[in-house]
């Protein structure tokens, strides 16, 4: 049976790998990772083969087409094809491919141009090269579809694993950089794009993704070339398009898609991140980036307030294992080049579900004058709108030369609205005592809505625009 399965897999290529997986046999070991320079030694291909995963998910940068003489250079269509050919002739790769079904997407370097998006002039040729390399059947709809996004479901009812591979390149809007490098570095960071028309996936892929998330499955592995949860570092990430990132998280929640785990690459390091708030259950993002591109020496972990654990050095790959016992357990692992587990997080599948009907305790209603908004209404407005907002200050802090006033105790809550009082807005000294005058009080603030880390807020630049009021009972 296994030999017959593999013959189907590699006669039909990537698409057949999905369709040939037996539906009555649940997946228990899924390997994944990214970032392999085909011109460097890559012993990890053999390590993965020795681990005998039932499926390998390639998250992008499976080869590097845009490196020439050690420097980044946009690749020609011919260079993309040659780079795939260089990977294909490696003995360890051939052995791995001969025994392991694979599914994949791309990131920037196998797309052909560093950090490129929808503006890339050779994206159509790059897509053809992608499908030719993975032997996607000539009559597959994926050959004519724009973008390489794809999804499949494996296993019987009750033990289904859905694999969703996103294409974050073909449609993505052009990113924006800051005007100058970060202090003390040569890094010119990307800055958030909040334009309404900016996109990560494009309209058609968004519609497709919504339909996929509505399909029944117990575990869902959403594969992204770049990190989704971590939005603190200055490089490529979903946080560069904060409205699109929020759209993804909201879509997971609104479709009732339980069991989601995010798999990501790109950063040439490994780490596990956890967002415990956005989708109604713990949302893990496990980054495996360094088939052979991770730093051999220790490097300080990048900024990441969501980090659970890190592997900031050493080549590695990821492994998702699922124990389909009475109360299934999902293990999220990063493994060293020799196959040993480096870091791991385990979670019961029952914990990756939103609790139906569970709501936060309602706060007492506050009567508001006409034209004055509660935080919930203010958060439905748009950046740049002039509004007046009223709420009781539940939390906040003194942050340098600013005071932050929050409507919720947890500033990460989707319901939280923040008012930022800048030093120049205050005639007296802006200190903790000033904050204490607002804490627990009901404030009314006028101003223009701005965005910080995906959330709308008001920055107060004139103390006349903020006042303490008595809430009506």
pLDDT in tens, 140-159: 999 999 999 999 999 999 99
Q: What are the CA-CA distances from residue 363 to residues 359, 379, 391, 412 (Å)? A: 12, 17, 11, 18
d(CA 385, CA 377): 12
SS3 content of the chain, % helix, strand, coil (to 5): 25, 25, 50
Q: CATH top-level class for 2-351?
A: alpha beta
pLDDT tens digits for range 233-283: 999 999 999 999 999 999 999 999 999 999 999 999 999 999 999 999 999
Please state the domain extents for the chain: 2-351, 375-469
Q: Would you mind telling me the total number of residues written for the chain in this entry?
A: 473
Is the Cα torsion angle 292, 167, 276, 237 positive or negative in sign?
A: positive
The average confidence (pLDDT) of the chain is 90
Burial degree of 329 (CB within 10 A; 0-12, 13-18, 19+): middle
CA-closest candidate to residue 20, choices 40, 2, 35, 37: 2
User: SS3 of 81, please?
Assistant: helix
Residue found by looking up tokens 């942050």 in the block:
399
Element (H, E) at 403: strand 402-406
Q: Name 285's bridge partners.
A: 262, 273
180: its two tokens: 């100058």
Matching residue, tokens 């950046």: 383
Measured between alpha carbons, how far is residue 40 from residues 36, 67, 70, 294, 315 in Å?
Answer: 8, 12, 11, 12, 12
375-469: CATH topology: OB fold (Dihydrolipoamide Acetyltransferase, E2P) (2.40.50)
Mark residue 118 as left, alpha or beta (left: phi above 0; alpha: psi -120 to 50; beta: remaining). Answer: alpha
pLDDT at 367 (0 to 100):
55
Q: Which of 106, 103, 129, 131 is nearest to 117 (CA)?
A: 106
> In 3-state terms, what secondary structure has residue 223?
strand
The tens place of each residue's pLDDT in the chain, 473 residues long, gives 333 333 333 333 443 344 345 556 899 999 999 999 999 999 999 999 999 999 999 999 999 999 999 999 999 999 999 999 999 999 999 999 999 999 999 999 999 999 999 999 999 999 999 999 999 999 999 999 999 999 999 999 999 999 999 999 999 999 999 999 999 999 999 999 999 899 999 999 999 999 999 999 999 999 999 999 999 999 999 999 999 999 999 999 999 999 999 999 999 999 999 999 999 999 999 999 999 999 999 999 999 999 999 999 999 999 999 999 989 999 999 999 999 999 999 999 999 999 875 444 334 434 577 789 999 889 989 998 999 999 999 998 888 788 889 999 888 888 999 999 987 777 777 777 777 888 888 999 999 999 988 789 999 988 889 998 864 43
Q: What is the DSSP string of 12-71?
A: H-HHHHHHHS-TTS---EEEEE----TTS--THHHHHHHH--SEEEE-S-SS-SSEETTE
Torsion of CA 259, 264, 270, 271, to 10 degrees: -40
Provide the pLDDT for residue 49.
98
């Amino acid at each position: 049976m296994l030999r017959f399965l593999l013959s189907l897999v590699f006669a039909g290529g990537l698409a057949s790998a999905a369709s040939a997986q037996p539906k009555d046999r649940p997946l228990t070991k899924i390997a994944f990772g990214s970032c392999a320079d085909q011109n460097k030694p890559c012993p990890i291909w053999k390590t993965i083969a020795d681990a005998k995963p039932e499926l390998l998910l390639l998250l992008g940068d499976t080869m590097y087409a845009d490196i020439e003489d050690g420097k980044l250079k946009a690749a020609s269509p011919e260079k993309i094809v040659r780079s795939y050919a260089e990977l294909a002739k490696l003995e360890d790769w051939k052995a791995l491919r001969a025994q392991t079904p694979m599914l994949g997407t791309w990131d920037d370097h196998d797309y052909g141009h560093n950090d490129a998006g929808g503006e890339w002039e050779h994206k159509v040729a790059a897509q053809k090269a992608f499908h030719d390399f993975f032997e996607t059947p000539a009559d597959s709809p994926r050959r004519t579809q724009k973008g390489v996004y794809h999804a499949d479901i494996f296993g019987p009812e009750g033990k289904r694993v859905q694999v969703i591979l996103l294409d974050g390149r073909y449609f993505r809007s052009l990113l924006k950089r800051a005007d100058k490098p970060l202090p003390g570095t040569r890094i010119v960071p990307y800055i958030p794009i909040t334009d309404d028309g900016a996109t990560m996936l494009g309209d058609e892929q968004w519609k497709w993704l919504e339909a996929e998330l509505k399909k029944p499955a117990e575990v869902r592995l959403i594969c992204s070339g770049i990190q989704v949860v971590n939005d603190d570092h200055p490089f490529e990430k979903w946080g560069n398009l904060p409205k699109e990132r929020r759209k993804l998280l909201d879509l997971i929640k609104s479709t009732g898609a339980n069991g989601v785990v995010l798999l990501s690459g790109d950063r040439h390091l490994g780490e596990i991140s956890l967002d415990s708030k956005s989708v109604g259950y713990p949302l893990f993002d496990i980054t495996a980036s360094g088939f052979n591109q991770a730093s051999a020496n220790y490097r300080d972990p990048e900024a990441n307030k969501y980090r659970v654990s890190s592997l900031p050095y050493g080549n590695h790959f990821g492994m998702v294992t699922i124990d389909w016992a009475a109360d299934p357990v999902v293990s999220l692992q990063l493994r060293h080049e020799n196959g040993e587990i480096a870091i791991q997080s385990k979670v019961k599948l029952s914990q990756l579900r939103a609790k139906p009907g569970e709501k936060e305790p309602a706060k007492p209603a506050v009567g508001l004058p006409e034209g004055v908004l509660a935080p919930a209404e203010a958060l439905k407005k748009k950046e740049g709108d002039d509004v007046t907002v009223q709420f009781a200050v539940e939390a906040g802090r003194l942050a340098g030369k600013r005071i932050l006033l929050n409507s919720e105790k947890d500033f990460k809550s989707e319901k939280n609205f923040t008012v930022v009082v800048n030093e120049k807005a205050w005639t007296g000294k802006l200190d903790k005592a000033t904050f204490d005058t607002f804490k627990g009080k009901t404030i009314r603030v006028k101003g223009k809505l701005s965005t910080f880390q995906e959330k709308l807020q008001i920055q107060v630049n004139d103390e006349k625009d903020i006042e303490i009021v008595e809430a009506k009972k």
